[in-house]
């Protein structure tokens, strides 16, 4: 089975979308080499904003960019997006329905090596509780890439989690992604 890395695909796809959409901007919380947003920085330095370890400020800044018709991609670890930046995501981005795409990298237990402080086991629950927030968790890098094509066209707040590790490619390459639509990997009769 083919293995793919969501972070690598995310970084490359962000550059591809940046070529097509001149209003995409990227905000990063000092993790560009880890989230792979550095790829966008290398290609479009004038549209890349390194905010340091200031996740809450970064989200507020991205909201301001969204007010100027930018599509703002905000990158940090999932645990920091759902924790340190929660108030700004809820108050500034989601309640106002602004076009900010919060990308939580190293989601779930995929960052096991950095310990419990970097493990986002509650990010989905937190983000799903926020009004107006569309929450996406791609099963693999193929679905992630298809999701990005959709969310860049979606006018509103999105939280998308990105896994740190290589994962098996499962999503059918010929199937388009639609927000809110389930994907059947294979039919079966032995489980519900």
Task: Please identify every residue annotated as catalytic.
Answer: 55
Residue-wise burial string across 130-160, b where 16 or more C-beta atoms lie within 10 A, e elsewhere = beebbbbbbbbbbbbbbbbeebbeeebbbbb
Instruction: Say how far apart CA 95 and CA 97 lie, in whole Å.
Output: 5
Q: Measured between alpha carbons, how far is 157 from 16 in angstroms, rounded to an integer?
A: 21
C-alpha angle with apex 123: 107 to 11, nearest 5 degrees?
A: 40
**Strand locations in 47-189 (E):** 48-50, 71-77, 100-105, 134-136, 158-162, 166-168
């Amino acid at each position: 089975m083919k293995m793919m890395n969501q972070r690598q695909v995310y970084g490359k796809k962000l550059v591809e979308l940046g070529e097509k959409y001149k209003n995409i901007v990227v905000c990063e919380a000092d993790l560009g080499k880890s989230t792979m947003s550095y790829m966008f920085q290398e290609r479009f330095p004038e549209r890349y904003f390194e905010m340091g370890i200031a996740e809450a400020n970064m989200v507020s800044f991205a909201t301001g960019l969204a007010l100027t018709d930018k599509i703002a991609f905000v990158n940090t670890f999932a645990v920091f997006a759902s924790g340190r930046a929660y108030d700004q995501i809820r108050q500034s981005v989601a309640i106002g329905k602004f076009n900010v795409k919060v990308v939580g990298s190293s989601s779930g237990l995929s960052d096991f090596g950095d310990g419990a402080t970097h493990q986002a086991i509650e990010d989905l629950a937190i983000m799903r509780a926020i009004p107006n927030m569309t929450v996406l968790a791609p099963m693999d890098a193929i679905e992630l890439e298809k999701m990005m094509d959709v969310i860049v066209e979606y006018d509103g707040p999105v939280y998308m989690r990105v896994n740190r590790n290589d994962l098996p490619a499962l999503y059918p390459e010929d199937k388009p992604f639609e927000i809110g639509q389930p994907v059947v990997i294979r039919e079966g009769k032995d489980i519900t």
